[in-house]
Amino acid sequence: MDEAVKAQVISILEDVNDLTIATVREDGWPQATTVSFVNDGLKIYFGTAADAQKAQNIAANNKVSLTVNRSYDSWGEIEGISASGAASLVVDEQEKQKIGNLIFAKFPQLAEYFPAETSTEDLAFFRIDLSIISLLDYRKGFGHCDLISV
């Protein structure tokens, strides 16, 4: 991947708080859900209730798609990504600690809602390893999109 393109994708991930993730339900229907997220380069992390529908969906089929878009006032400013990848439950304690640090750095207000001593037993953290990214950049022309394999 071109370094300038990679930097643009990472910049979008770092500047945006929420993404829409699409998972596959057990009945075969897609399910789209908005989640807050953090990233470490191109690796995307999010947390959810361990028994949430999206967690169950990922356990059965780890293929996901997602969108992340910067805010815009006109179509000529649209910039975002649409991507696909594999989601996996994070079980490594060091990686969980890294995710926690990233979350509290991006969302410091979380401490108000989720004190550090609160149990995380009912939480599940997921990592999304991207495989295909469509980089939307309408600043380069209406509908401009670069397809990138990761």
Question: What domains are defined for the chain?
Answer: 3-149 (2.30.110.10)
- Position 74 confidence tier, pLDDT thresholds 50, 70, 90: very high
Which pTM value belongs to this model?
0.91
What are the strands, taking DSSP E only, across 37-141?
Answer: 38-40, 43-49, 63-69, 79-89, 123-137
Which pLDDT value is given to residue 115? 59
Q: What are phi and psi of 140, to 5 degrees?
A: -95, 0
